A and B are shown apart, each in its own frame.
Chain A
Amino acid sequence: MSAFPLLGPLATGIFGLVVAITVLGAVVAVFTRRIIRAVAGLALCALGLAGLYYFLQSPFLALMEILIYIGAVCVVIVFGIMLSEPDEPALAPAGRRELGWSALALGVSAALGGGVAYVSLHGPWPAPAAAAGDGSVAAIGSALLTTYSLPFELISLVLLVAILGALAIARGGRGAP
């Protein structure tokens, strides 16, 4: 008997809450009509994912998820919405073809997600034989600068090219009426 008998149920409850936040955010992000609500749903989903990363024993990535997804990606998308049109067009009245496409999309995604979920819930996930390293922030940092230094440098190059490309694309044609 541990010193805190309620710790297990409490952790399970928080885990359920985090999973619910993730699922709800994803559903809102896809099924709502207003695009700005979809962005809010994406932010909610990122918050839930940060909680899941925390349960996976990686508080560093939980922080990074909040910082990058909510702090950068969602804000940039909101700016993009402000510079273009805000709303999804209303559904065409009684569109049989649209309804068929929606049903097809639902079928494809449900089959794929159901299949993957079935495999992941029933598959054997063997525990590793021996743990090497503790996965702390210090271990991540030293691995980034030794084993993974080439991808680390390459991704900084990718980000630089992305910044320059975004500037070049978004700036072109500004003077034209």
Chain B
Amino acid sequence: MNPALFDRPGVYLAVAAFLLAVGIFGLIQRRTLIGMLIAGELIFSAASLNFMALNRFVAPDPAVGQIAVLFVMGLAAAEVVIALSIIIAVYRNYRSIRVKELAELKG
């Protein structure tokens, strides 16, 4: 008998792959900095879900993956804080956060 749907590692990994694909699409497609930041968060979530799925089904010690995901969450929070402060500084100087108009450093 097949295991239930929530007992197969492939299902979780496929959901994580979908999150990764959507995040990359958003990262290319979005035209404001905050939209790109949100897409980046989706990619972080995909990585965390991969860690957790492999931790549950493949790794011998089920505490290791949870600790890795905790570290990923902490780094993601720090990244959001830094990115938002940069966005606010950019908005104060340019009155815009559209990617097209922030071309001063472009050669």
Contact = CB atoms under 8 A, between A and B. Distances in A.
Interface of A: 8, 11-12, 15-16, 19, 22-23, 26-27, 29-30, 35, 38-39, 41-42, 45-46, 49, 52-53, 55-58, 60-61, 64-65, 68-69, 72-73, 76-77, 79-81, 83-85, 88-89, 101-102, 104-106, 108-110, 112-114, 116-117, 120-123, 125-136, 139-140, 143-144, 148, 151, 155, 158-159, 162-163, 165-167, 169-170, 172-174
B60 A129 contact: yes
Closest 3 CB pairs of A and B: A113-B21, A135-B62, A120-B13
A95 to B, nearest CB: 11
B84 A77 contact: yes
A68 B88 contact: no
A126 B4 CA distance: 17
Contact of B18 (A26, A64, A126): A26
Contact of B13 (A45, A69, A79, A121): A121
A2 to B, nearest CB: 13
Interface residues of B, number: 75
Contacts of B24: 105, 108-109, 112-113
A80 B17 contact: no
Contact of B42 (A42, A83, A110, A114): A42
B56 A56 contact: yes
Contacts of A104: 28
B60 A140 contact: no
A82 B19 CA distance: 27
A126 B85 CA distance: 44
Given A125-B10, A134-B62, A151-B71, A85 B41 contact: no
B49 A49 contact: yes
A158 B79 CA distance: 10
A146 B44 CA distance: 26
Contacts of A113: 17-18, 20-22, 24
Given A108-B25, A131-B62, A155-B74, 15 more contacts: A8-B4, A42-B41, A49-B48, A53-B52, A56-B52, A56-B56, A65-B73, A85-B32, A88-B35, A89-B31, A133-B62, A140-B63, A143-B63, A155-B71, A165-B85
